[in-house]
Amino acid sequence: MPERELRIAIVGAGPSGIYSAEALVKAAEEREQPMAIDLIDAVPSPFGLVRYGVAPDHYSIRSVRDALDRILHDHRIRFFGNVEVGEDTKAIAAADSVAPQQISLATLRSMYDAVILSYGAATDRNLGISGEDSQGSISATQFVAWYTGHPDTPADAWVDLLAHCASVAVVGVGNVAVDVARILGKSAEELQQTDMPEHVLTALSNSAIRDIYIIGRRGPAEATWTTKELRELGELAEADISVRGVDTELGPTSQLVVDTSKVAARNVGVVKEWVTRPAGKKSKCIHLRFFARPVAIEVANGHATALIIESTQLTPKGGVVGTGEIERIAVDAVIRSVGYRGTALSDVPFDHDRGVVPHDEGRVLHGTGPVRGLYVAGWIKRGPTGIIGTNKKDAVNTVSSLLYDLDQGVLSNTEPSRDDLADVLEDGFVDHAGWRRINDAEIALGSSRGRDRTTIHDRGESLAASHVAEGTGRTSPASQ
């Protein structure tokens, strides 16, 4: 039996962080190892992209958070919401009573045997074209954060734009691009039963958007969306779907993809069926445009007025080259959805080219060697790839490395201090009991509007609902 309790801090309470905690709990039981695990997140609520990245109308995927929530009930796990890993400052002050408290990574490392970084990839990649800094040029990550109710996105962020925007281009052919296009194309009635904040539902119901263009550099065979999400675009009550027949004519490179990938073959089949549909008479239309890459956003008086695209073709190796054929698509907004990107954390090695923390099997690397006691999991480890479940295998990989290092006696250089994070923070954080109160408040708010849940967007309202830090921290084993 180990002599003392092993203390682990996990920075980021999204899927990768919670799955890391789950893997640690299983190890604690198998090894009879006393263990204390603290999950830290900058927002008051857990679940990361499951809460703030998955489209609200995807009920089955969003239900994953119920499974994640059950993990949090383990008596070895504590949740610390509204706590940002940054500098050692008391952010809770009269001037800003709802700002997250801050604690430095150095302080965390001094308090724990190991720290796992699982804070994800919250920013987006740029297109790198002129006009991208104009009004109406939008990051899909920001737009998704708005319609899912992330507390750091202003409630009125896109209200005026939606009210005056008749046409929008969504650049990208992945699931996030499909989500954005679908949300913009749905009727108010189709969105009514989601858990979107009320201000989002109101803004979308008042939207003037009638044409939605999805722009992809390659063809339907190379698109990275899943077939289920793709099919949903053709099933909207108030939006027709339009595809040019020429875009479904597969060259040798695309044909090879279809011949070797069942998913690609299904996707191409869906798109080809849409070509045969007669012209519709719905109030909106989603236009899929393949083999086209953005080269500029046309701007007038600071506002986007058109997206300039160049036709492309594929090389034998699957690369993209322009043909020189240019087209102008009149749009009032351009939403780029070309990938998430991780950001650096102070005092942590970072690969700026890839947007990830360099690692070896989850061990953070500095130069040629690992940083003792510092690990990484999830998107900030491997990049924004895979599905939600991919994070579970990834987390197990990282925890396996941590446990191996524990057995080798190389987790950390010194004995951690016995300071407790709850005592260091004093107040202003949301514990697990506080999160349960936020959850109950959202369910009650939804019930009052005839829905299962309505997300509380405002950080202050979430903190008020949580009765900040009134909980008891870790639960007792007997209560499980």
* CATH (domain of 313): 3.50.50.60
325 shares its domain with 446: no
If asked whether residues 272 and 352 sit together in one domain, one would say no
- The residues, ordered by sequence, that sit 6+ positions from 476 with a Cβ below 8 Å of its Cβ are 75
Same-domain pairing of 98 and 142: no
| Same structural domain, 95 and 215 | no
- Determine the pLDDT at residue 93: 41
Residue 417 has pLDDT above 90, yes or no: no
Q: Is there a single domain that holds both residue 34 and residue 77?
A: yes
**Strand locations in 1-97, DSSP E?**
6-11, 35-40, 77-80, 83-86
Kindly report the pTM of this predicted structure.
Answer: 0.91
CB neighbours of residue 476 within 10 Å: 8
Q: Are residues 159 and 231 part of one domain?
A: yes
Domain assignment present for residue 156? The answer is yes
3-state helix, strand, coil in the chain (%, to 5): 35, 25, 40
Residues 115 and 132 in one domain: no
The 10s digit of each residue's pLDDT in 255-283 is 999 999 999 999 999 999 999 998 889 99
pLDDT tens digits, one per residue of 288-316: 999 999 999 999 999 999 999 999 999 99
Q: Which of 3-7, 378-382, 468-472 has the lowest mean pLDDT?
A: 468-472
pLDDT in tens, 69-98: 999 999 999 999 999 998 765 544 434 567
The number of residues making up the chain comes to 480
Q: Supply the DSSP string of 115-169, one letter for each residue.
A: EEE-----EE-----BTTTSBTEEEHHHHHHHHHT-TTS-TTTTHHHHHH-SEEE
Domain that holds residue 324: 125-340
Question: In which element (H, E) is residue 442 found?
Answer: helix 432-447
Specify the pLDDT at position 476.
Answer: 37
pLDDT at 480: 38
Helix 432-447 / helix 64-72 crossing angle, nearest 10 deg: 150
Asked whether residue 1 is assigned to any structural domain, the reply reads no
Is residue 474 scored above 60 in pLDDT?
Answer: no
Q: How confident is the model at residue 412 (pLDDT cuts 50, 70, 90)?
A: low
CATH of the domain at 50: 3.40.50.720
Residue 181 has pLDDT above 60, yes or no: yes
Among residues 300, 325, 340, which one ends one of the domains?
340
Instruction: Give me the chain's average pLDDT, please.
Output: 91
307 and 361 fall within a common domain: no
Share of the chain above pLDDT 70, in %: 94
Q: 318, 340, 362 — which closes off a domain?
A: 340
Residues 347, 447: one domain? yes
What is the DSSP annotation of 232-251?
Answer: HHTT-SSEEEEE-GGGG---
* 364 within some domain: yes
What was the pLDDT predicted at 426?
75
d(CA 330, CA 327): 10
Residue 222 and residue 162 share a domain = yes
Segment among 206-210, 380-384, 438-442 with least mean pLDDT? 380-384
- pLDDT top residue among 172 and 89: 172
Same domain? 360 vs 248: no
Q: What is the DSSP letter of 356?
A: B
Cα-Cα-Cα-Cα dihedral of 22, 26, 32, 38, to 10°?
0
pLDDT at 1 over 50: no
Residues 210 and 324 in one domain: yes
Instruction: Quote the pLDDT of residue 470.
Output: 57
- Kindly state the percentage of the chain with pLDDT values over 90: 80
The secondary element (H helix, E strand) that includes residue 334 is: strand 333-336
Write down which residue in 340, 364, 391 finishes a domain.
340
Residue from 79, 106, 63 nearest 419 by CA: 106
With a cut of 70, say whether residue 241 has pLDDT above it: yes
- pLDDT mean over 359-370: 92
pLDDT of residue 425: 87
What is the distance between the alpha carbons of residues 432 and 78, in angstroms, rounded to a whole number? 7
Does residue 413 register a pLDDT over 90?
no
Number of structural domains (the chain) is 2
CB contact at 8 A, 304 and 331: yes
- Predicted confidence at residue 4, as pLDDT, reads 78
